[in-house]
Structure 1
Amino acid sequence: MTASIALPRILRVGAGASAELAGVLDSLKLSRPLLVSDPFVVERPFFQALLADLKEAGLSPGVFAETVPDPTSTVVEEGVRALREGGFDSVVGVGGGSPIDTAKAVALLSTHGGRMRDYRTPVVTDALALPVVAVPTTAGSGSECTRYSVITDAETGERMLCAGLAMLPRAALVDFELTLDVPPRLTADTGLDALTRAIEAYVSARANPVSDGLAREAMRTVFTHLRAAYAEPGDRPAREALMVGAAQAGMAFSNSGAALVHGMSRPVGTHFGVAHGLSNAMLLPTLTEFSVPSAPDRYAECARAMGLAGPNSTDGEATGALVWELRLLNQDLEVPTPRGHGISAERWWGLAPLMAEQALASEEAADGPRMPTVEEAVELYHAVYG
């Protein structure tokens, strides 16, 4: 089967890459960018410097700073109105995965019209939308390199996965210096999000030689450096490695797919408001252990890529080490269980059957090596609860 590979046209990686925004926009013949971000990011000195650089270069930028965690269709529609009223010719997403996903969705709707629910999977929108440039400030989702955007339907509460080349940024400026003041909790959650994406890209039914190479390197890099960045936020080598690893994981995920962790994670966010990276982290060890029997060779290679097993280890030894180390990593990074996060047992157990049905209806779960029954998915949610 032919693999379809898509990457940003322009990818700048390294310290100071974000300062090249004006030149990148100019190279794309764009002069009126709408910067999409959140209230916290727009107050940071680097954002104000970006804005000043754009104006000094003769561009006419605008700012939409109303994005929220787990972006909603309402916020996207507000962004579209701001874009149209200002006559902007491009969108620049600055921030974590939520502002970048919002920027992609604004570009999509402003070009193709309709409502966000019209574009939820299994719909795939490959017709190009307004150009997007992504400037990530966290090392996690890799949204700057993916053809996906996740938007919550404001009316139903559903977290909708929207896919296609319309969501792929034309350019990504991956600057690890923007992450040096990210606090430990966010560092852990976004880093574990990147690790989950890399592992699931590797075991996905749509994995291919290109995504495999990116996923292996992302796993190695993120696992090696995540504890250091968590313990010492100013550790520049660790921060740089995490930023590159997250981008690689995003590229792997975008060109391969996800699996059961992502499928079962989204309903947790929908019903309990748990951030996506954290819900992935809560589920990763238990769901990996469940899935291993259906793809022991692939999971064993994950362990070897992460340095958890030697090249001559058996698959059983390697997968055992993988599950053990994922649990230990969650412990070291103080990842709470749903119970520890403050979710009541009554609500969790009451919603588990519905979450199981929603998870198994997702395209992501279908791409994984092992598809549970609804009853098994409910049992997995119970096991994860803590």
Structure 2
Amino acid sequence: MKDYSFKIPQNIEFGIGSLKKLPEILKKNKSDNVLLVSDRGLGSIGVVKKIQDIILDGGIKCTTYLDVIPNPTVDIVNDAAALYKECKATSVVALGGGSSMDVAKAVGVLVNYGGDITDYEGFDTVPGPIVPMIAIPTTAGTGSEVTASSVITDESRNYKLSVISYEILPKYAVLDPELIMTAPASIAASCGVDALIHAIEAYISVKATPFSDAMAEKAMELIGRNIRRFVANRKDEDAACAMMAGCNFAGIAFAWAKLGNVHAMSHPVSAYFHVAHGVANSILLPTVLRYNALADKGRYEVIYNYIRESSGNAERFEPEMLVEEVIKLNADLGIPKSLSEVGVKEETIPAMAKDAMKSGNILANPRQTTVKDVEELYRKAL
């Protein structure tokens, strides 16, 4: 067994109604003035006001920034950081999916250390702790509340840059399953498969360890057994709790084991064609699984038995069975079948492949991959 290390430096509050603990958490962090980072969609359905009221009722000031969009940009980060300084906030609360958390993490960097978020691209470039941050996920998908990365779109390059540092981990995460029980079916589906992919890629990563395996396997069990139920009925409390916990465990798994070709390839798809991250991942998964089958060490069968509809273990397993099961899962959940269905054009493949190769996730993929391999995978997924 190879050497490895891990730590879980965060505070996680999980449970129905756990949002009520938010003022107490803020006061523990000596924060009496909050910037709440979210999006207008959550504002329009009353979720932002719900959180804002909890904060204000606790005697804490609250200013909202609601211009977060999917695949948030450098300009959005700059605008949110400017508002943080203007309102003299002392902490940041991220409410939403990965986009809101990515923006909040980046704001925390700029407020404390200045410059532009592009200055911090890459690994371990953040010089120290960011401002106190509390993450409140409203989707069971990204796991961003427990991951040390912020992904921001640099429109000048059509490129999704990553800032990766354990300094930007949210100090607290509040996981209240009630928040995901109002999600549209399409969002629940794409986010749920994204979380499943986090667990799968962490599990087959060359950087996997017994610790990350434990997190990934429990995530696959919780998500695999419940994703269809949850998409069918978001009011199913047990399914919602399982999805939120599974997403969290998957996030912890890939924070330490990294991901693979699916995520490396999905970022350029989102950057060039504004495809939602979870949708891009879900479409790419069958193609990448088929490619990685040559490097399988028996883990495909474990994954298959977690996500297959029927119970029990398969008597005679072949890796293609996992690919077909994933294709069926995507179809059941209404995920598009191909990249062409979401507007991806073949002429962009060489540029996307070059960008995908810049991702550190390529190095964690179980099968070695060249830029020509990535181009071919894109064409197969097209």
Normalising by structure 1, what TM-score? 0.93
1:206 corresponds in structure 2 to: 207
Does the CA contact (< 8 Å) of 2:91 and 2:133 recur in 1?
A: yes
The Cα shift of 1:340 comes to: 5.6
Pairs within 5 Å for 1:70-149: 70-125=71-126, 127-149=128-150
Aligned ranges for residues 246-285 of structure 1 at < 5 Å? 246-285=247-286
Shift of residue 341, structure 1, vs aligned partner: 2.7
- How far, CA to CA, are the matches of 2:311 and 2:41 in structure 1? 42
Distance in 1 separating the partners of 2:142 and 2:339: 25
Partners of 1:184 and 1:351 in 2: how far apart? 30
Structure 2, unaligned runs of 5 or more:
none
Which residue matches 1:223?
224
- 2:351 maps to 1:354: yes
Q: Aligned residues: percent identity?
A: 33
CA distance 1:4–1:114, shift in 2 (3 Å): farther
Distance of 2:41 and 2:250 partners within structure 1: 26
2:364 alignment partner in structure 1: 367
Cα 1:332–1:311 shift into 2, 3 Å? closer
CA deviations over 1:164-193 (Å, ceiling 9, x no partner): 112200000011111111111111110010
Cα gap change, 1:275/1:265 in structure 2, threshold over 3 Å: closer, same or farther? same
- Large movers: runs of 4+ above 6 Å: none
Cα drift, residue 76 of structure 1: 0.4
Contact 1:309-1:318 within 8 A present in 2 as well: no
Distance (Å, rounded) in 2 between the aligned partners of 1:67 and 1:340? 27
Name the CA distance, whole Å, in 2 between partners of 1:20 and 1:110.
26
The answer as to whether partners of 2:282 and 2:335 remain within 8 angstroms in 1 is yes
Report which stretch shifted further, 50-59 or 210-219.
50-59
Larger mean CA deviation between 232-241 and 136-145 belongs to 232-241
Mapped to 2, the partners of 1:309 and 1:267 lie a distance apart of 37
The verdict on how the C-alpha distance between 1:73 and 1:6 changes in structure 2, with shifts beyond 3 A counting, is farther
Q: CA deviation at 1:73?
A: 0.8
Give the 5 Å matches for 1:54-65. 54-65=55-66
In the alignment, the residues of structure 1 paired with residue 105 and residue 3 of structure 2 have an alpha-carbon distance, to the nearest angstrom, of: 27
Deviation at 1:161, TM superposition (A): 1.4
> What residue in structure 2 maps to residue 341 of structure 1?
341
Listed one character per residue, the Cα deviations across residues 266-323 of structure 1 (whole Å, up to 9, x for unaligned) are 1111111111100000000110111121133233332244467966856xx1533321
User: In the aligned structure 2, how far is the partner of 1:95 from the partner of 1:2?
Assistant: 36
Aligned-partner Cα distance in 2 for 1:378–1:188:
27
CA RMSD in angstroms comes to: 1.9
Aligned counterparts of 1:185 and 1:337: Cα–Cα separation in 2: 14
Give the aligned length. Answer: 380
SS in 2 for 1:213: helix
C-alpha distance in 1, partners of 2:40/2:253? 31
Aligned partners of 1:94 and 1:134 also within 8 Å: yes
> By how many angstroms is 1:255 displaced?
1.7
Q: State the alpha-carbon separation in 2 of the partners of residues 327 and 27 from structure 1.
A: 46
Q: Distance in 2 between matches of 1:365 and 1:310?
A: 33
Query: Equivalent residues in 2 for 1:33-48 (5 A)?
Result: 33-48=34-49
Q: 1:328 aligns to what? A: 328
Alpha-carbon separation, structure 2, partners of 1:3 and 1:128 = 24
State TM-score, norm by structure 2: 0.94
Amino acid at match of 1:81: A
Following TM superposition, by how much is the alpha carbon of 1:370 offset from its aligned partner in structure 2, in angstroms?
Answer: 1.0
Pairing 1:181-200 to 2, within 5 Å after superposition = 181-200=182-201
Is the 8 Å Cα contact of residues 296 and 319 (structure 1) preserved in structure 2?
no
SS of 1:255 mapped into structure 2: helix
Look up the equivalent residue of 2:160 and give its one-letter code: R
| More deviation, 274-283/32-41 | 32-41
1:172 alignment counterpart = 173
Task: Tell me how far apart the structure 1 counterparts of residues 296 and 123 of structure 2 sit (CA, whole Å).
Answer: 25
**SS at the partner of 1:40?**
helix
Match of 1:32 in 2: 33
In structure 1, what is the Cα distance between the partners aligned to 2:126 and 2:153? 18
Moved more, 21-30 or 142-151: 21-30
Equivalent pair of 2:133/2:170 in contact (CA under 8 Å): yes
Work out whether residues 91 and 133 of structure 1, in 8 Å CA contact, stay in contact via their aligned partners in 2: yes
Give 2:19's aligned amino acid: S
**Quick check: 304-313 or 169-178, which moved more?**
304-313
Q: Does 1:376 align with 2:373?
A: yes
Counterpart CA distance in 2 for 1:15 and 1:206 is 34
Partner Cα separation in structure 1 for residue 263 and residue 136 of structure 2: 24
2:224·2:307 contact (CA, 8 Å) conserved in 1?
yes
> Do structure 1's residue 11 and structure 2's residue 12 form an aligned pair?
yes
- C-alpha separation in 1, matches of 2:103 and 2:160: 13
**Is the Cα–Cα contact under 8 Å of residues 18 and 174 in structure 2 kept in the other structure?**
yes
Q: Say whether the 8 Å CA contact 2:222–2:242 is kept in structure 1.
A: yes
Q: Which moved more, 1:102-111 or 1:122-131?
A: 122-131
Shift of 1:121: 1.7
